[in-house]
Chain A
C-alpha cells in the first residue's frame, strides 16, 4: 500500500483502466479516514459519459497477530450479503497483485452519516433506525451458514473464550483484568445456540444512516460464525454507548427495547442476561483490540493514536471490573 496520495492515484487509475477500459479515469480522490485497520479513499470513476462515486478500502494491519478477515474474503462475504438484499455497499472489484494496491477492494459509495455523536445528537429517527437495524440483522442472521462456510476456519467461529485467549496470548502483555473476565464467563456459561453468520462489528459507527434509513452496514473484517446474541451484545457493550449509558443499545434504545425490536423483525427471542454475557465479552474484546493497536505501534506501525490505545485499555478493564461487581449494567 503506497503512502503518498499521488502515487495511489496513479495506481488507482491503472487499476480502473485494466477493468473498465482505457477511457476510464479517476477524479476527485480524497482520503476519508485512517481507521483502526484500514485506509479508506473516495474517488469518482469517470467512464464515457458516466461518473460514479466509489470507495477504496485497503488493509493497513498485517502480520501474524492480525485478527482481521483477509480483504479477499471480506469482498467475497460482501458479495453474498449484498446479493441477499441486506444493506451493504455494492462490491465493484477486489485488488490483485498487478494493481500494487491493497490488499483491499472497491465498493460503491453509499450516502449517509456514520459518526456516532452526530447520529445520536438528534433522536427524531432513533426508533426507526433501531427497527431498520434489527430488520437487517435478523435477515443477516437467517442467511444460510453453509454459504459462508469459509469463515469456519477463523478462531472466532469456534469457542469464543478460547479464541480470545489465543488473540491475547499473541500480544505478549499480561492483562489480569481481561483474563479475570474470561474466567467469569467460563464459570457462568451462556446458552448454546446454533451458529450463523455474525457481522462481528455491529455497533454505532459502522452503520451508514440517511435520515431514518439504514443505507449500509459497514466493516465486515470481524465477521465469523457465531451466536446471534453476540452482535446484539457488541452493540450494547458499554464502550459503544457514547456516554448515553442507560440506552444500552448503542445510545439508541434500552436493551429491552432492542431485544423486542430484534424479535419483532423475525429474530430469535433472546433474554437480557444472554446479551449481558456478550457485553462482558465485548469489553474484553475491545480491550484486546486496544492492546493490539499498541502492539502494532511497538512493532513499527507508529502513531500517537495507536500508542495511546495501549493505555486506554484501562478504561475497558475498569468498566469490565465494575460490571462484574454489579455496579454497572
Chain B
C-alpha cells in the first residue's frame, strides 16, 4: 500500500526549502545549524530514493586489509571500496563527485 502524496522525499525537501527561506532571520550560530539541518534533510531525501547499499561485513574487510590478506587482490579491493564510497557520497554530497562518477 502506498501513502498519499507527497511522498517522503518530497516532504523532506519541502521542509528543507522552508528552512532555507528562514536563514536570513537567524543569528550566525543558529543560521549555520539551520543550513546543516537543510543539508541533512536533502541527504535523507536522496537516501530514500537511492538504491540500497548492499549488506557487507566491513569489519571483516578492514581486518583483511590490515593483515595484508588483501594485498594480492589490491585492484579488486580498490574497486569494491570505491564503488561503495561513490554510492555513499552520491547520497551525502553528489556535487563532490568527479564528473565521471555522477549519475
Contact = CB atoms under 8 A, between A and B. Distances in A.
A318 B81 contact: no
Nearest to A33: B29
Interface stretch (B1-9, B10-18, B65-73): B65-73
Contacts of A325: 78, 82
16 contacts: A174-B58, A174-B62, A175-B62, A180-B78, A183-B65, A183-B66, A183-B68, A183-B70, A304-B36, A315-B93, A317-B85, A317-B89, A318-B85, A318-B86, A321-B82, A325-B78
Interface stretch (A67-75, A127-135, A222-230, A305-313): A305-313
Given A175-B58, A321-B82, 6 more contacts: A174-B61, A179-B61, A305-B36, A307-B40, A308-B43, A321-B78
A325 B29 CA distance: 38
Contacts, number: 78
Dominant secondary structure of chain B at its interface with chain A: helix
Contacts of A118: none
A175 B62 CA distance: 7
Given A176-B81, A179-B66, A314 B33 contact: no
Given A179-B62, A314-B88, A308 B40 contact: yes
Interface of B: 29, 32-33, 36-37, 39-40, 43, 58-59, 61-62, 65-66, 68, 70-71, 77-78, 81-82, 84-86, 88-89, 91-93, 96-98
B78 A305 contact: no
